[in-house]
């Protein structure tokens, strides 16, 4: 995640040319009524997915990606010493790690999406996209995302909470949802170069992905997971949205869905709170800027830029700082919400 600031990208635009571009993007990518949220009905398959979230499931991936232990990539044991987007071999290894794990799950497809970058600190890189093709609404995509890169720009660079925690949750959902049927197509996306500016350019990361949708498909929703492993009080979990006067109905429905999942599955160990203040913060910003009519939310530990995690963007962002009961509980809520958002069938 990047440093907190006011989101200029979703402010009302006044220049005619910019407004025309915005309207075009909305028309191109948004179908009204997609990924609608109804009252949550308990589903035993979803309950099994939720109950499968444990520290034992999440911790190995966090340790692998933060360089706390060696891991298998390309048939060799390696240490991923950095995930800074300009680190060269280390970030290449991290990208390959995610690709190989997704490829082992039996998804409909897994692919790299290369983006050009623009020189300087924003080098060419790759998003990794795994897909489960939907059954009744295959041309509408629910995007479940997390960014792979990390800060600071040094080697070693652990980045355990920001954002190995989100990638581990993403990979858990990819392998757990694989083999099940959903009404909507799901794309599990590990974005690159988020720390260079999430969604601010169509030349890297989430901005490139949103600007290059698959032919004939539209975006229905975005569930973005970034920094969910540490909290100061052990309970407060945020769903980050736009302010009420900028938030579309579909986004409000996603908040309700997340809160209803907590009730339907009797989830405990976290406090479900909406924080609506339109910060850019993470990769949901690409959807806010380029697909304004859909719901796009960011799951994040509360007050992440201040007191919650003082180790954010430092070399102390390590696995040893995690609040594991909180991380597990928070991830369970996201798993349940995502399964219902994509309209699980079986």
Number of domains in the chain: 1
Within a domain: 9: no
Within a domain: 59: yes
Which pLDDT score is estimated for 152? Answer: 78
Q: Which two tokens stand for residue 96?
A: 């390959």
Within a domain: 346: no
**Other Cβ atoms within 10 Å of 18 Cβ, number:** 10
In the predicted model, residues of the chain with pLDDT beneath 50 are 3-37
Which pLDDT score is estimated for 278? Answer: 72
Cα-based angle 33, 34, 39 (whole degrees, multiple of 5):
80
CATH classification of the domain holding 300 = 3.40.630.10
Q: How far apart are CA 79 and CA 117, in angstroms?
A: 25
Instruction: Give the three-state DSSP class for 255.
Output: helix
Which pLDDT score is estimated for 16? Answer: 32
Instruction: For residue 333, count CB atoms less than 10 angstroms from its CB and return exposed for 0-12, middle for 13-18, buried for 19 or more.
Output: buried
Structural domain including 178 reads: 16-341
Within a domain: 136: yes
Which pLDDT score is estimated for 14? Answer: 28
Q: Are 4 and 283 in contact (CB under 8 A)?
A: no
The rounded radius of gyration (Å) of the Cα atoms in the chain is 18
């Amino acid at each position: 995640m990047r440093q907190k600031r006011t989101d200029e990208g979703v402010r009302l635009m006044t220049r005619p040319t910019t407004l025309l571009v915005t309207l075009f993007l909305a028309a191109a990518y948004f179908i009204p009524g997609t990924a609608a949220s109804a009252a949550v009905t308990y589903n035993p398959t979803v309950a099994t997915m939720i109950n499968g979230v444990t520290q034992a499931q999440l911790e190995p991936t966090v340790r692998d990606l933060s360089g706390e232990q060696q891991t298998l990539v390309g048939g060799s044991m390696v240490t991923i010493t950095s995930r800074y987007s300009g680190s060269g071999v280390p970030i290449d290894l991290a990208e390959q790690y995610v690709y190989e794990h997704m490829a082992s799950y039996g998804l409909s497809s897994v692919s790299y999406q290369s983006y050009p970058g623009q020189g300087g600190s924003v080098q060419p890189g790759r998003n990794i996209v795994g897909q489960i093709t939907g059954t009744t609404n295959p041309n509408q995509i629910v995007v479940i995302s997390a960014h792979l890169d990390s800060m600071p720009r040094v080697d070693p660079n652990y980045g355990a909470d920001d954002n190995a925690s989100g990638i581990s949750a993403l990979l858990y959902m990819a392998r757990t949802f694989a083999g099940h049927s959903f009404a909507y197509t799901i794309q599990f996306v590990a974005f690159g170069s988020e720390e260079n500016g999430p969604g601010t350019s169509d030349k890297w990361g989430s901005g490139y992905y949103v600007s290059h949708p698959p032919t004939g498909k539209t975006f229905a929703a975005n569930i973005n997971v970034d920094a969910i492993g540490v909290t100061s009080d052990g309970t407060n979990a945020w769903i980050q949205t736009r302010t009420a006067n900028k938030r579309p109905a579909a986004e409000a429905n996603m908040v309700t869905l997340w809160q209803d999942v907590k009730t339907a599955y009797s989830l405990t160990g976290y406090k479900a709170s909406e924080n609506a203040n339109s910060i850019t913060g993470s990769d949901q910003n690409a959807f806010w800027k380029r697909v304004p009519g859909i719901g796009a939310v960011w799951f994040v530990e509360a007050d992440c830029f201040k007191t919650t995690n003082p180790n954010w963007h430092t070399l102390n962002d390590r696995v040893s700082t995690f609040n594991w009961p909180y991380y597990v509980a928070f991830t369970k809520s996201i798993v349940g919400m995502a399964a219902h958002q994509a309209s699980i069938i079986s």
